[in-house]
Structures are given as C-alpha cells and as structure tokens.
Structure 1
Amino acid sequence: MDNNLNNNEPNFVMGDDSTNNNINDNNVGFYDNNNFTNDEFQFDNEPLNEKKPKKNRKWMKYVGVGLVGAILGGIITTSSILYVLPKSDMFKNTELYKSIKGNSVYEGKVPEFTQTSEGMSLTDVVKQVAPAVVGVSTKSVSQDMFYGKQQVMEGIGSGVIFSEEGYVLTNYHVIQGAQEVKVILNNNGEGKEVNAKVVNYDAQRDIAIVKITDDIKMPAVAPLGDSDELLPGQQVVAIGNPLGKEFLGTVTSGIISAVNRDIVMDQNGTKLKFIQTDTAINKGNSGGPLINAKGEVIGINTLKTGETGVEGMGFAIPINEIKPKLEDLVKPLLKIGIAGKAIDENTAKENNVPQGVLVAQVEDLSSAQKAGLQAGDIITSFDGKAVKTVEEINEIKAKHKSGDTVKVEIYRNNSKKTIELQLAE
C-alpha cells in the first residue's frame, strides 16, 4: 500500500513512456525536467523516499506510465513513474472533480463503430491515419556530479506526423530529459527507426515537436480536425504504442465521454483542458493521436486515471488547443548547450550557495563551452535578469534571436564571475 496516497482520491497517469531524466535542460537535446536528484542532494520539493504524510494530508498523484530502463533520481517508481504530487484538495476544486458524475458524461451503452456519413468505417479511419502514427524513442545519459556515476534511461512514447516536412507532434513529457531522440515508423508492423531531433516544446501545455532528420518520404500525414465540434457519445479511435515497440500501431476505440475537462496539473494550480474518453490509453500511448470518425486528429493522448478499480477514463489534449501554437513550435529553440537544474532555497542555504540554475553538463562545442561555462557553475543572472529556474532562462531566450550575445553571471568556487554567451539554434 502506498502510504503517500489517499485511496479515496482519484489518481492520474501520464499516458507516456518518457525519459524522465533527472537533469533539467533547455538546450542541445537536454529538455526541462523538474526532478533532479542525486544520492545526497535533492533539488526538488519532495524527497525520493517520501515520509509518511500527516493523516490530514491528502494527495492526488500524476504518474508516468512509460517503459524505461534505469530510473533516475527524483522519480518515484512503483509499477509506474511518479511525476507530480499535487494536493487532492486542488483537484476537488476542479470542474473534473465536480462533474465526474455530471450530465456531461456519456454513460450509455458504448456503440459499435459504424460507417460514418463520410463513408469511413473503423478500418478506413485506421488505414488513413495509422501510417502517420510513430513511436518516439528517447535516451538519456547523465553523470552524478558528486559521485561520478553514470545513469542511463530509455523510453518510448507515441507521436503523429502532421506535415510533409517530417514534423511530429507528441507530448513534452515523452521527450523530457532526452539527449537522443529517434522516430520509429510503422513499416507494415515492423518498426523502422530513423533519426530525429526535438525542435521545440511547450512544457506547460505538455506538447513538443520532433522533426525527422533522415531524408525520407513521409509514410503519411495525419489531417488535423476541429476538437470544438466534439460531443459526448461520438466515436473515436486511439493509435499508439502501448507497452512499447513490440505493440507498435495498436488501435483501440471508444467514445468521447466529456469535453472541456479542467485538470489541475501542478501545485501551482495550473489548469489545462482535456477531452475525456473511454478509449483505452495505456503505457506508451502518450503523444499518440485521438482520431474522430472522419479520420482526423482531434486530440493528443496524455493522461489516464491511475485509481485502483477505475477504468475507461483517459484524457487527451484538444487539437484546437495545440493548432495556434504550431507555427511557433516548428521554429527551433535557441540553444545554450547545458543541462541544468534549479537550486531551491533550502538546498542553497544548506550548501551555502546562491539560488540559481546548477550547470550539470556542458555540451561539447556548444555556446556554453565556448563561453567558458563549466559543470558545477551556478547561473544566477541571464541577460541582466536574476534567474532561479531553467524556465526563466527560456523566457529570456525567447525574446532573442540566433546570434545575440547575452551576459551571464555565474557563481564558481565561492566567487562571482560574468561571461558573455552567444545564442544559437
């Protein structure tokens, strides 16, 4: 029994297999993660081995359900990976909790998938979209700064090709922390691995864009639909990679159970809207498409309930929440070339260092290396503005263009130092 969870509270599972690296980054293939931990130091608000909470402390959990190799620090593992532990009283204030048995939920008999007015059967829908559904394979290697140990984690999620240029839409948590990304094409049931790179992402919205870099003809491009047209009871299909590469291109079907579900995603009270469906969303489905009866992508599968005894409650990001962001997300991120993690106030006090972003790794030949940044440096100011998190560095970078030079203040060996760094794609 998990002593950190109240069994009366709903749990949510990230329908993913992300490489949840313990190193947070925003450059050169290292992507933001808020769970950097090593054997002694915890740069997070929750310890790896959680103590029993007080009796009046209730929790709801969000867990990753991805397939992974070595699980890195800052992640709690049971049968799946713990991502966040927001307080359950926040969940009680959400529309999802209030309307879980509301009239907006379709509770009738699930209809069989029949031929639609567009003349498409379930088979037609799958035939149109399945070739565009891919696996997103990730790998991360990190080195414990204090003990020199290397840790490796691999994962596989899902994604969908949405352009002839090879852009793939997936969840941010699928590629979070990844240093290497591959795309797996469904070649008549056989997985064909091709090279890819992360182009950009929106961590708060949990979406990311990966681009196939090999010179190949795209097997298919999935059309994007209109999620605002969805109604409870409509038939939908999910395609993805439950349990990994061995089950590439698995098809499940169901209905829209409800629309516009508000779910609190973190302890800051961040709310996101989701489509609720009874379509099976399992380990490895994260980032895969939810498809309507016209053969259009109307959502990106992201969450499922993790509550014991509760089935048929999956959640997808509405495609209309994503489409306005695509133009910006296909533009490459400006890169520094570091992997880093925010040092929280308690850790800073305990170790007599300033708050800022700890540099854990520096990419060879990167802007960071050329500027003289070293592993162990703590970035306290970026472009003249105090920073405490990687997200704050990202916000500043977003206001610049490739080639711009910024001043970076660092703390190294008990002294402050200012360096100049040139941003690049």
Structure 2
Amino acid sequence: MSLFDDDFYSPKVSPWERRRLRAQGDDSERWPLRRRWPALRSPWAVGGGAAAFLAIVLLTAALSRGGDAPAEAVRSDDVASGTPAADIGVQPVSVVDIVQRMKPAVVSVISSQAFVFEEDGPETEQETGIGSGIVYRKEGGVAWIVTNHHVIDAASSLEVVLSDGKRLEAELVGSDALTDLAVLTVDAKDVAGVAEFGNSDALREGEAAIAIGHPFGLGYSPTFTLGIISSLHRVIPISLAMDGTVDWEMELLQTDAAINHGNSGGALVNQEGKVIGINSMKVAQPGVEGLGFAIPSNLAAPIIAELETHGKVRRPYLGVATVDLAQYRVDDEEEDVVELPEGVEEGIIVLEAYGPASEAGLRTNDVIVALDGRPIASTLELRKYLYEHKKIGDPIRVDYYREGNKDTVTAKLGETPEP
C-alpha cells in the first residue's frame, strides 16, 4: 500500500463501521485520526521524505498546543529510573512555555584576553570569544553556570550577559578540556531563571528537542531552534592539540536542531522543558546540514560536581608518555630497540616513564600490551581504561615486553598532575 494511500490516513469511516462502533459504544468515529494515532507514527520509522515532513508538522503542532489528550502526572522516580517519557504518560510542554521558562536561564558568556599591541605598551583586554551558558543553581547569593571549556579557554576575564542585557562579572570555578565543560559563578541578585536538568538516559531517537543559545552574539535574548534527537550515542574523536592525533572520544547526542557559532555551552531541552544536553559542537562543512552535538546531561552531571568541588576533574595517572606501536615506523637499525616476538603487532611504546610507572620499574622502550589482563592497542585505549575503570590509588597490573621478553609489574595509580 502506498504510504499516502487514502485508506491509510483518511478520516472517513464507512457506514458499516459506524454502525459497529455505535453498537460497541465507541465514539471514536468522531475523531478517526485520534483513533488511528498509532498509525501516524509509522512515517517516522519509514523515513520517507514527505512522510517525515508530515510527522514533523504533526509533532510541532502537538507541541505548540501543549497536547490535547490527558496525561498522568510525571513521577520523579520514573524519570530517575530512565523510563522513556512515552511509556509513563509524560505530557509534552508547549514550546511557547518552554521558551518563556528557559529564556532567563540561558545566558551569553563573553571571554576576553589581555594583549600588548605595542612593545612596552599597556596591557589591553579585548573580547575574543562568545558562547552560551546555563544557570543550573542559585544558592547563597551565588548563581552557578555551566558552559563549554572551549568558550572560556585562555580567557583573562569573563562576563555573563543576562537576557535583559545586564552584564555581570563571572568567576571561573573550574574547567576540563577532555569533556569540554566549565563552571562559572556570578552574583545571583539579578539572575531570574534557573534551568532544571533532565535524564538523558531516558531519551529516545526521534524525540523533539530545542536548542537554546546566543548564536553570533545576536543581541542578548537567546535563540530557540526546534528539531529532534537524531542519535543517542554518537562517538566523536577529539584531538585536543588539533594535530590530528585522537586524544579522546566523546559520546554525544546528535540533533538536527540548528546549532551555530555562539550556541556552544547552551541548552538542549526535551519536551518537558528540561536540559538533557549541553550544546558543544556541529559539523560545519559545505553540503552538511543538521549535524549538531550535545554533551548528555547524565554524563555532564558528575563532571560539573567535580569542577564545583575541586576546580578540576581528578583522574588516575600512570605516568607514561607513549606512542602507538601501529604508528611507529623504524628503520632496520632501530628495530632492535623495540624487539618483539613474532605475532605481537599491537601495543604502546613507552617514550618516557615517570611517577607511578617509573616507581614500578617501567622504562623507555618498554612496549605495554595489556592492563589488568585487558589487551591495549593504543594510547587512547590506555587513557579510556584508566579514566573509565580505575580510580586514584588503585593498583594496576601492566604487561609489557622489554627486549623481546614479556614481564609484568604492578603500579599504584596517582592523581594526574596540573599541566
């Protein structure tokens, strides 16, 4: 059957069906589209261009009205458990209501750097970057704001601009380059709005999402764009030094809600008006549309807590500078330096050992092949294993080759030192 077959979407009810429904006491003949609502979801799954457009129109209209059908009250234990909103009867909030609620809670973040333009001249501050931030708490006369690390990186001073245009001096509490998050504080006296964080683990692909931020510094009132959650677990490689070497991988939400320069650090909000992501990046290439990414709220929450408490994210530290064996290219004279048995093709070469690694006996040119019995093929895998599975002070077993012989040491992980 054609996707737009009249029998599929038609509001018409045959006389025979009308008599049957009346006999059963069913008045759905008056609202056939409501009765057939489950069928209207199918275009989203099929993915046809015109059908998807129709689904978006229907969804947008439903959100704008705030919904007509009754719904159960939202239970906090349902949200905490990760139960999808559609399964617990969550009532979508009107887009207009979300806009009005979130408007004072999303601020503009302006970073400035100090420059000396003439030799021996005075130091001058100049605005060098603009982004967005989310007010997530007010306490004791202080408002707490989360934004992206890249928004405030290298700033000598920071300002926050509220939706009414008032400028406030901001203080950096802490930031983390690896997760691209930073926490600021400002005087809470004039801060009118506070955003509520939602449960990003309860999201499903295809749910409506609103991106909120200050693109290109266009005034002080934030901009709102509507889209959907396109993917829940999009893994993006990160090169902190921008040199092509992958230092980390971020698992992000993907959305087609428009995210532009200046939206970084702003909010990605669900149908309940709760923050389920912090806008972080987009793909900006010719011919590419609707590829924006946000840090999931459930991944951001523990990082924010660490930054609040310690001003940084404390991570375990082995103490090795390494290069991947697969990327290592040597000539015949140097092959003996990393002599390995036949068949050993993956691992990481220790360029320098210090701290816990040095104390455990590792040294330059050792080839690490496993941690706690888990094969390690790259520096990225080593870093991910440490950060995701180990804690400061934990012991770690390191299997390595030295001059062709395999050996094992146990190191006690320290805390990553300040850069």
- What is the TM-score of this pair, normalised by structure 2? 0.51
Look up the match of 1:272: 250
Q: CA deviation at 1:291?
A: 0.2
Partner of 1:136: 109
Distance in structure 1 (CA, Å) of the matches to 2:48 and 2:205:
6
**Counterpart in 2 of 1:326?**
304
1:363-391 Cα offsets, whole Å, 9 max, x none, are xxxxxxxxxxxxxxxxxx99xx9xxxxxx
Whether 1:304 aligns to 2:291 is: no
Judged with a 3 Å threshold, the aligned counterparts in structure 2 of structure 1 residues 230 and 257 are, in CA distance, closer, same or farther, namely same
Question: C-alpha deviations, 1:11-38, integer Å up to 9, x for none?
Answer: xxxxxxxxxxxxxxxxxxxxxxxxxxxx
Counterpart of 1:230 in structure 2: which amino acid?
L
- What residue is the counterpart of 1:255 in the other structure? 228
Paired position in structure 1 for 2:327: none
Secondary structure of the residue that 1:178 maps to in structure 2? coil
Partner of 1:317: 295
Query: Out of 243, 267, 271, which is 1:289 matched to?
Result: 267
**What TM-score results when the alignment is normalised by the length of structure 1?**
0.51
Corresponding residue for 1:184?
Answer: 161
Q: Post-superposition shift, 1:268?
A: 3.0
Deviates more, 1:147-156 or 1:275-284: 147-156
The CA RMSD over aligned residues, in Å, is: 3.8
- Where 1:220 maps in the other structure, the secondary structure is coil
How much does 1:119 deviate?
Answer: 5.1
User: How far does residue 332 in structure 1 lie from its aligned partner after superposition?
Assistant: 5.4
Q: How has the CA–CA distance of structure 1 residues 127 and 179 changed in structure 2, closer, same or farther, with 3 Å as cutoff?
A: same
- 8 A contact 2:92–2:271 mirrored in 1: no
Give 1:283 deviation, angstroms: 1.3
- With over 3 angstroms needed to count, the CA separation of the structure-2 counterparts of 1:329 and 1:253, relative to structure 1, is same
Amino acid at match of 2:138: E
Which of 180, 194, 198 is the aligned partner of 2:172?
198
Question: Which whole-Å deviations, capped at 9, do the CAs of 1:272-292 have from their partners, x for residues lacking one?
Answer: 011100000011100000000
Please state how far the C-alpha of 1:150 moved relative to its aligned partner.
6.1
SS in 2 for 1:310: coil
Matched position secondary structure for 1:123: helix
Distance 1:313 1:241, change over 3 A: same
Aligned-pair CA distance for 1:326: 2.3
SS for the counterpart of 2:166 is strand
Distance 1:159 1:221 in 2: 11
Deviation digits for residues 178-232 of structure 1, max 9, x if unmatched? 1111111102xxx1101111101111000000101x3515311100001111111
Alpha-carbon distance between aligned partners in 2 of 1:327 and 1:265, rounded to the nearest angstrom = 23
Letter in 2 for 1:240: G
Q: Is the 8 A contact 1:278 1:314 kept in 2?
A: yes
Kindly provide the amino acid, as one letter, of the partner of residue 273 in structure 1: E
State how far apart, in whole Å, the 2-side matches of 1:290 and 1:271 are: 20
CA distance in 2, matches of 1:239, 1:192: 19
In structure 1, how many angstroms separate the alpha carbons of the residues matched to 2:247 and 2:307?
24
Does the 8 Å CA contact 1:138/1:178 hold for their aligned counterparts? yes
Tell me which protein shows more helix as a share of its residues.
2
CA distance in 2, matches of 1:136, 1:199: 14
- Aligned partner of 1:244 in structure 2 is 217
Indicate conservation of the 8 Å contact 1:105/1:232, yes or no.
no
1:210–1:310 Cα change, 3 Å: same
Change (3 A) 1:105 1:268: farther
Query: Structure 2 counterpart of 1:170, which letter?
Result: T
Aligned residues: 241
Q: 1:204 aligns to what SS in structure 2? A: coil
Gaps of 5+ in 2: 1-44, 68-89, 240-244, 313-353, 359-391, 393-419
Query: Are the aligned partners of 1:242 and 1:248 in contact in 2 as well (CA < 8 Å)?
Result: no
Residues 179 and 253 of structure 1, relative CA distance in 2, 3 Å threshold: same
Counterparts of 2:274 and 2:185, CA distance in 1:
21
Counterpart check, 1:172 vs 2:149 = yes
Contact kept, 8 Å, 2:138 with 2:188, in 1: the verdict is: no
CA drift of 1:248 comes to: 3.0
Q: Is the 8 A contact 2:268 2:277 kept in 1?
A: yes
Question: Shift in Å at residue 331 of structure 1?
Answer: 2.6
Change (3 A) 1:236 1:119: closer
Give the whole-Å Cα distance in 1 for the aligned partners of 2:129 and 2:177.
18
Q: Distance in 2 between matches of 1:184 and 1:105?
A: 41
CA separation of 1:175 and 1:104: change in aligned 2, threshold 3 A: farther
Q: Percent identity?
A: 36
Q: 1:162 touches 1:222 (CA, 8 Å); kept in 2?
A: yes
1:168 corresponds to which letter in structure 2? I
Greater CA radius of gyration, 1 or 2? 2
Check conservation: 1:135, 1:245, Cα contact below 8 A: no
Specify the SS of the correspondent of 2:309.
Answer: coil
